[in-house]
């Protein structure tokens, strides 16, 4: 199939590598001419351009650019696309995108590959990024069955765990397990940088180890992505953060009151429930 | 040297393996006779017993049992020890232990190997656990110079980053970078388990991936350890959690008010500052 990838960063570049391996022909679009050159030189795509018009002959497009750019790019892209071309995106919010994108292009179906995001850019792109990951597709009532079926078959070749959900259910769920943790984790870094005593701050920096590393990872990541999560999934993120704050306040109150039984039973519960979410 | 290890779990077992490799003779003590048998059978220690009296001839003791048991065990142990024997511990709080332990046994020096704690028990013990980790020693004014020097030389053979700090400075620093993250992380699990809509909960469990995995790791760990951190470092943990809550409330307020400039600058700052703590 002739596949266009808009945005040749970690996700777009990695998708291009995978689909190239599966005998598809790849057209890349990046706003940066250097990225276009590098993507061709590294064999990530066969063709690359800064111009969306270069996608006039592709049958399938994956928009892998940052969340705020997805709708504006789609709006421009529609003038060049063949009518039967199918478009999907890779944004980590879907409610703010799926309905508007479907209005712009009926053959649109929202997508979200839930793959790592610590590193960014084409140089971070690699084969295997999606192996075993969850890939969500969010069809709406207006989604043509053919668009869903073609997208589903193509994505399934990545050996991912393919999940269908409504854009709203997707956003409610990821608010809790993906977006809220960004602010929880960023606040942990912020609290540590707020240590006022210089010797204690220096010692904390020396002693920080695996616990801090893991807890702070998503909060110390791509700030553009964290901001977009809050902007484009604001209601659900606010709801999840308020529930989170209540849990934290419970912890604080138990420690303050030395209610060790409650704290112990809380910690045991989290130890038991974590495997319901991740291995 | 004849070295006694009390508590043959992840830390005690791994220390025994390392010191055994360095031609020391190891005496293990565990409250569980099965653990004693397994530790000998697996070559972790040469001798093992449930009885502290078995340590009457050792020159160096490392108390690797859970925090609440360290002082009670030391109190019993003193009747058996040779007067020149040096005792250290491996507890992750030091203020509540170091002064009292030094009163019980003048040749005591507090220690804290900052190594992973996701798994527990002798079966998790392994060589290399301490390689490159930070190992804190917390001498006090009353610590005999010989006790510090002997401990320092022995620990240095583990290829660790050896750091000296007062018990109080240690506790203030680890409250922020190690203890606070446990409650921050446990609250994230708790918030996710609090999702009231069953379909959203199920979807969240399906979609949880690396971001949730890392953010929830320390909060879903050993509840006994988390409880002891709060109990034995209560004041500093409360202080760090209150600073943390202020940071989180700022995030919430910015998202609520749609003050995206402030949120963006906050996220950028955390991205910049995280490498001051961890690579």
Name the one residue in this structure whose structure tokens are 């959690």: B241
pLDDT at A115 over 90: no
- Residue A11, exposed/middle/buried by CB under 10 A (0-12, 13-18, 19+)? buried
What is the pLDDT, as a whole number, of residue B176? 98
pLDDT of B116 over the 80 cut: no
CB contact under 8 A, A252 and B268: no
Question: Does A277 sit within 8 Å of B212, measured CB to CB?
Answer: yes
How far apart are alpha carbons B180 and A212 in whole angstroms? 9
Q: In sequence order, which residues have a C-beta less than 8 Å from that of residue B93 and are 6 or more positions away?
A: B67, B171, B174, B228, B229, B232, B233
Mean residue pLDDT of chain A comes to: 96
SS3 B139: coil
ipTM > 0.85? yes
Average pLDDT over every residue of A137-146: 97
The pLDDT tens digits for B9-50 are 999 999 999 999 999 999 999 999 999 999 999 999 999 999
Q: Is the pLDDT confidence value at A119 over 90?
A: no
Element containing residue A137 per DSSP (H, E): strand A134-138
A171, two tokens = 């956003």
Instruction: Give the pLDDT of residue B232.
Output: 97
Q: How close does chain B come to A74, measured CA to CA in Å?
A: 24
Please list every residue in chain B whose beta carbon sits closer than 8 Å to the beta carbon of residue A261. none
Q: For residue B79, which of B96, B54, B111 has the smallest C-alpha distance?
A: B54
Residues of chain B with Cβ-Cβ distance to A116 below 8 Å are 210
Q: Which residue of B has its CA nearest to A241?
A: B252
Q: Which residues contact A146 (CB under 8 A, 6 or more apart)?
A: A86
Residue B1 confidence (pLDDT) above 70 = yes
pLDDT in tens, A73-113: 999 999 999 999 999 999 999 999 999 999 999 999 999 99
pLDDT of residue B199: 94
Q: Does A194 touch chain B (CB under 8 A)?
A: yes
pLDDT of residue B119: 78
Residues of chain B with Cβ-Cβ distance to A115 below 8 Å are 209
* Tens-place pLDDT, residues B197-221: 999 999 999 999 999 999 999 999 9
Interface membership of B264 toward A (CB under 8 Å)? yes
Separation in Å, CA of B12 to nearest CA in chain A: 19
Q: Under an 8 A CB cutoff, do B234 and A258 touch?
A: yes
Residue B138 structure tokens: 């917390």
Q: Mark which residues 197-226 of A lie under 8 Å from B by CB.
A: 197, 199-200, 203-223, 226
A266 near B CB under 8 A: yes
Q: Is B164 on the interface with A (CB under 8 A)?
A: no
Q: What percent of chain B has pLDDT over 70?
A: 99
pLDDT of residue B120: 84
Please, what sign has the CA dihedral across residues B57, B62, B65, B67? positive
- Asked if the Cβ–Cβ distance from B270 to A241 is below 8 Å, we say no
CB within 8 Å of chain B, chain A residues 80-139: 114-117, 133-134, 136
Buried-state track B207-225, b at ≥16 Cβ within 10 A, e below 16: bbbbbbbbbbbbbbbbbeb
Query: What number is the average pLDDT over the span B251-274?
Result: 98
Report the mean per-residue pLDDT for chain B.
Answer: 96
Q: Would you call B163 an interface residue with chain A, using a CB distance cutoff of 8 Å? A: yes
Residue B6: strand pairing partners: B29, B63
Average the pLDDT over A205-221 and give the result: 95
Q: Do A177 and B263 touch (CB under 8 A)?
A: no
Classify the C-alpha dihedral A113-A114-A120-A126 as positive or negative: negative
- Chain B residue with minimal CA distance to A117? B211
Chain A, chain B: beta-carbon pairs less than 8 Å apart? 331
When pLDDT is averaged across residues B61-75 and rounded to a whole number, the result is 97
Mean pLDDT of A186-212: 96
Q: What is the pLDDT of residue A120?
A: 84
The pLDDT tens digits of the residues spanning A40-73 come to: 999 999 999 999 999 999 999 999 999 999 999 9
Which residues does chain A have within 8 Å of residue B206's beta carbon, measured at their own beta carbons?
A: 134, 161, 163, 173
CB atoms within 10 A of CB B15: 26
What DSSP line would sit under A65-133, residue for residue? S-HHHHHHHHHHHTTTS-TT-EEEE--S--HHHHHHHHHH-TTEEEEEEE---SS-SGGG--TTTTTT-
CB contact under 8 A, B208 and A278: yes
Outline where chain A has alpha helix (H).
10-21, 33-41, 67-77, 95-104, 145-156, 167-174, 180-193, 198-207, 210-216, 223-232, 234-257, 260-273
Q: Is the pLDDT of residue B117 over 90?
A: no
Measured between CB atoms, does B1 come within 8 Å of chain A?
Answer: no
Q: Which of B112, B199, B237 is nearest to A255 (CA)?
A: B237
- pTM for the full predicted model: 0.93
Whether A178 and B242 lie within 8 Å, measured CB to CB: no
- Are B189 and A258 a contacting pair at CB < 8 A? no
Mind telling me how many Å the CA of B109 is from chain A's nearest CA? Answer: 18
Q: Chain B residues with CB inside 8 Å of A66's CB?
A: none
Facing residue for A184 by CB, picked from B207, B215, B266:
B215
B231 neighbourhood in chain A, CB within 8 Å? 258, 260
Q: Is A196 on the interface with B (CB under 8 A)?
A: no
Compute the nearest-CA separation of B153 from chain A (Å): 20
């Amino acid at each position: 199939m002739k596949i266009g990838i808009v945005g040749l960063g970690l996700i777009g570049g990695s998708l291009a590598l995978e689909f190239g391996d599966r005998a598809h022909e790849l057209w890349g679009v990046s706003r940066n001419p250097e990225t276009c050159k590098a993507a061709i030189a590294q064999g990530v795509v066969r063709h690359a351009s800064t111009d969306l018009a270069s996608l006039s002959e592709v049958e399938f497009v994956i928009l892998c650019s940052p969340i705020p750019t997805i709708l504006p790019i789609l709006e421009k892209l529609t003038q060049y696309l063949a009518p039967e071309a199918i478009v999907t995106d890779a944004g980590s919010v879907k409610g703010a995108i799926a309905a508007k994108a479907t209005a712009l292009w009926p053959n649109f179906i929202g997508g979200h590959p839930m793959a790592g995001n610590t590193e960014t850019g084409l140089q971070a792109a690699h084969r295997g990024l999606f192996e075993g990951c969850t890939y969500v597709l969010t069809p709406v009532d207006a989604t043509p069955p053919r668009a869903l079926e073609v997208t589903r078959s193509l994505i399934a070749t990545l050996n991912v765990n393919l999940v269908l959900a409504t854009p709203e259910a997707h956003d409610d769920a990821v608010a809790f397990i993906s977006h809220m943790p960004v602010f929880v984790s960023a606040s942990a870094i912020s609290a540590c940088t707020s240590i006022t005593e210089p010797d204690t701050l220096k010692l904390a920096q020396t002693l920080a180890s695996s616990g801090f590393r893991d807890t702070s990872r998503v909060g110390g990541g791509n700030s553009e992505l964290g901001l977009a999560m809050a902007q484009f999934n604001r209601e659900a993120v606010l709801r999840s953060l308020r529930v989170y704050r209540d849990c934290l306040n419970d912890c604080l109150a138990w420690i303050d009151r030395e209610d060790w039984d409650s704290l112990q039973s809380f910690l045991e519960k989290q130890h038991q429930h974590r495997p319901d979410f991740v291995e």
